[in-house]
Amino acid sequence: MLAYGLIGERLGHSFSPEVHRRFADYDYRLIELPPEAVAPFLRERAFAGVNVTIPYKRAVIPLCDALSDEAKRIGSVNTIVNEGGRLVGYNTDHYGFCRMAEAAGIPFAGRSVLILGSGGAGRTALAAARDLGAREALLVSRGGSGPDTIDYETAYRAHAGADILVNATPVGMYPHAGAAPIDLARFPACSGVLDMVFNPLRTALLLQAATRGIPYANGLCMLVSQGKRAAELFTGKTFDSAREAAAVRAITLARANLVLIGMPGCGKTTVGRLIAGRLGRPFVDLDEAVAAEAGRSCAEIIETDGEPAFRELEARTAGRVGATFGQVIAAGGGTVVRQDAMDALRQNGCVIWLERPLDLLATGGRPLSKGGAALAALLAAREPLYRRYADRRLPNDDSAARTAEAACHIFETEDWLCASL
């Protein structure tokens, strides 16, 4: 008999087993089921408890023998417990959503909320937003039919003043990380963004929020918190909130990259190698990765094909490198000139800008960094971009070892990505 697990249609990139390991020592498996297999699986009752994810949170309701009051009110089930042969459906996502909003420091009371997606996750967010005191909360879907539901065109036209946007769709989830469900520029009053997606750590939607200085949170806080509540239902035990916070931080750090940006010759490669050694992580020099892919040095590519061709290859390489977890990455000095390249590095990265005085920058063998007035002009052009994309700034005018230690401290102890529980 199966102990515990997660049922869904596609689960290849799920973090759920790791979440549950943080709370209890039980066997937890991923169970991919096509739609026609869900009912037979549940009717067999050969499990102690399961979590339910996209697209089955509403489909499982008629297959349960009983529902908790919250699941019944919301119309969505994400946890089923086999209680002596009776399948009881619960909604632990509601608790997780409220914890995510709390962690992000985004108050809902008296504010207008648009929730993208009208499935089980969207309905949970709708109920939670109202319970948190939202003045108005609406679902947004392509069809736009049903109570409390509008289409995207109506959202853009009549609700551009929305205070909070919530993504309850899978849009932006790996491996389609470049997609965003909406354009934040069309919601100028937005002051908070929550995205239930947690892979990548920063979706395209959250990158828009970060660039605009809007408070945001990814779905990892929600995943961990609802997982804790599910584990409590599975085991009959109670787990304190400190374990939630520790789990969010541990999972974030295990998957995040530390990315160094800054002027050519500021010490990104030297410091990056020291950081990688301290953290026990692989080191990737983006220039070296580009050269390896092209079979030529970066200088040869720029001199032969021109800088635009080099930047195109650099952006493609950044897309591949940035999608991988747990690395230390030294970007090129000019990687910041392409937003798509930086978005690829930022999606899973803590971006630290290494600042070094002009007179200390190494310029040998750098075709775009010749020194003197040209170097000063290059800094003037790129400094606003470094500032735009950096999560933190770090002077590198001391020893490389001390700079590396300071970078590790930022990465491991500061809330550079999402709010803490």
- Catalytic residue positions? 57
Rounded CA separation 241/126 (Å) = 24
Rounded CA separation 375/359 (Å) = 10
Is 307 in contact with 281 (CB distance < 8 Å)?
A: no
Rounded CA separation 396/398 (Å) = 6
E strands present in 85-145: 86-90, 112-116, 136-140
Rounded CA separation 365/259 (Å) = 23
Rounded CA separation 307/334 (Å) = 10
Burial (CB count <10 Å: 0-12, 13-18, 19+), residue 97: buried
Query: Cis bond leading into 175, ω under 30°?
Result: yes
> Which is nearest to 343 in space by CA: 308, 312, 318?
318
Rounded CA separation 245/223 (Å) = 12
Question: Which residues does residue 112 pair with via DSSP β-bridges, in sequence order?
Answer: 136
Q: CB 105: neighbour CB atoms within 10 A?
A: 10
Rounded CA separation 77/68 (Å) = 9
Burial (CB count <10 Å: 0-12, 13-18, 19+), residue 343: buried
Helix then strand then coil, % of the chain, to nearest 5: 45, 20, 35
